[in-house]
Structure 1
Amino acid sequence: MSRTTATSTTQPNNAEQDGQIQEYCKNLLSILPKERWYGSAYLYKYKGFWLGPNQLPGLITLQSHFQAQDTDILLITTPKSGTTWLKALMFALANRKEYPINQNHPLLQQNPHALVPFMELSVSPEKLNPADHSYRCRQLFSSHSPLRLLPESVLSSGCKIVYLCRNIKDVCVSYWHFNKKLGTETSFEEFFDMFCKGVSLSGPVWDHALDYWKESLEKPEKILFLKYEGLKEKPGFHLKLLAEFIGCLISPDEERSGLVDEILGLCSFDNLRNLDVNKYGRGRTTGNEAYFRKGEVGDWKNYLTEEMAERLDQITAQKFHGYGLNL
């Protein structure tokens, strides 16, 4: 699979239309409800979800231009739910023919977010490139987009969606630490209160997860809904499950040769964290090291008071009541 950005499957650019989108987004941001997120950054509430000022124009642009292919795979998460690990696993798995697991593997040279870009941040109303129709192989994209804001072509095509979620309490704690890396001076108590009110990037996290959960029950062939905790507990099982879901089964010969362990070793938290590119490299908004804090299950116990944990548990129980989902 050739590495691409989200613009590789967009329709040919129309300068006039892009200018209209740009103006529309500018006007929209001026009237939408907004909340201060960190520093001078704001989140804007659009169709029930809180979006960043760059995220919203990107999603609206994609709705107009992105044409999903049946062979595309979308990796969907809310922030701090295991996104980096999922990208690494899926890149290694889907590209194992082109990039065997060896010392020259792209994951040893590039951060997973560079190899599997966020589609809403890879385009803008000002910079849309014509489609490169030479790409007709399986492609990986990622997004924090709520289900209702995905391009129509994603929902109507045969492309696959892998959704990964995580224990809400761990998401909250991990998110605050990540924002600190971005330079926020917001106290944990302030951040926690905003998070409980649903104010976080692509939040409320409960609504985000629930929409994909319900859709996965109706269309299990379309959406594979995974939990970070399950992936951590049985990584080999879930890697083979992912391979089956996207249609690139791990063969008996590959399994006997140790492919599963090779991929898991390459993509392990410790291995990725200790690579030079992830210790010293830098992404769009922060150093790559910010994506590798702990990766543990249950770290929330070191930060949340009993009252905080109970508050999040109550919100989670209320939001998911009757749907069979627990995070």
Structure 2
Amino acid sequence: MDLPLRKDRRIIKTHLPFTLLPQNLFKSGCKIIYVVRNPKDVIISFYYLNKLFRTQGYDGDLSKYWNYFKQNLQPWTPYWEHVKEGWDRRFEKNFLFLFYEDMNKDSKAAIKKISSFLDKTLTDQQVHMLYEHLRITNFKNNPSVNNQLLSELGITKKVKDGFIRNGNSGNWKKEFSKELNEEIDMWIEENLRKTDLRFPNLDQ
């Protein structure tokens, strides 16, 4: 299936890998922003997401979930194949590859980088407005992204943190045991062996 051509701008957000997207995606003239996150935080994020959605039905602990994740036995995996597809295309025209950790570290710099990529010029005031709009405390209360409706419909469980938990980097340190972290480190090292992809501040 090819991507239909349109003159007006629109935004499409997806978790799908490029292999499952339209074949003419990179020739259509659209701009692509690909965000990759530290695999340790991805594991934690997916763990809580699977526990949150009643349709997923997961009610086990983190150690058991990790075994599903590393075997690609849960939605949105395989993780490594997805990330490597993005990394291998990082020099393509109209393609911007970003690390979630860098965006978290300096959100205003990320806003400026993305706006420049999209051929938009922002004033300092506009950058600050976007920065405030995207702060996690405001983001959590935004009905456009916090999936409040799903909670009201009973599709997600009513939990304290909700759909948007905290958005920070490094939360895996509060969750992983020493043994689990060592096992995941070996898994990461093995999967990075044949690529030059390196995550910023992987253990921070």
Tell me the TM-score normalised to structure 2 length: 0.83
Counterpart CA distance in 2 for 1:164 and 1:280 is 21
Q: What residue in structure 2 maps to residue 316 of structure 1?
A: 188
Give the gaps of 5 or more residues in structure 1.
1-63, 70-135
Counterpart CA distance in 1 for 2:132 and 2:19 is 36
Kindly report the root-mean-square deviation, in angstroms, between the aligned alpha carbons of the 2 structures: 2.4
Q: What residue in structure 1 maps to residue 4 of structure 2?
A: 67
Q: What residue in structure 2 maps to residue 123 of structure 1?
A: none
Q: Does 1:176 align with 2:47?
A: yes
Counterpart CA distance in 1 for 2:74 and 2:5 is 27
> Structure 1 residues 152 and 264 mapped into 2: Cα distance closer, same or farther (>3 Å)?
same
Q: Does 1:292 align with 2:164?
A: yes
Q: What residue in structure 2 maps to residue 265 of structure 1?
A: 132
Deviation, 1:65, is: 6.0
Asked if 2 retains the 8 angstrom alpha-carbon contact of 1:166 and 1:229, the reply is yes
Deviation, 1:323, is: 2.4
Counterpart CA distance in 2 for 1:275 and 1:210 is 32
SS at match of 1:169: helix
Give the gaps of 5 or more residues in structure 2.
200-204
Residue 79 of structure 2, aligned match among 185, 188, 205: 205
Structure 1 runs of 4+ aligned residues shifted over 4 Å read 275-280
Task: Look at both structures and tell me which one has the larger radius of gyration over its CA atoms.
Answer: 1
Counterpart of 2:13, as a letter, is S
Asked if 2 retains the 8 angstrom alpha-carbon contact of 1:68 and 1:153, the reply is no
SS at match of 1:216: coil
Q: Does 1:223 align with 2:95?
A: yes
Counterpart CA distance in 2 for 1:248 and 1:137 is 15
> Structure 1 residues 158 and 310 mapped into 2: Cα distance closer, same or farther (>3 Å)?
same
Aligned pairs for 1:123-202 (under 5 A) are 136-183=7-54, 184-202=58-76
Deviation, 1:142, is: 0.8
> Structure 1 residues 209 and 280 mapped into 2: Cα distance closer, same or farther (>3 Å)?
closer
SS at match of 2:96: strand
> Structure 1 residues 249 and 178 mapped into 2: Cα distance closer, same or farther (>3 Å)?
same
Asked if 1 retains the 8 angstrom alpha-carbon contact of 2:32 and 2:96, the reply is yes
Identity across the alignment (%) = 24
Q: What residue in structure 2 maps to residue 326 of structure 1?
A: 198
Counterpart CA distance in 2 for 1:309 and 1:267 is 30
Deviation, 1:279, is: 6.9
Tell me the TM-score normalised to structure 1 length: 0.54
Counterpart of 2:31, as a letter, is K
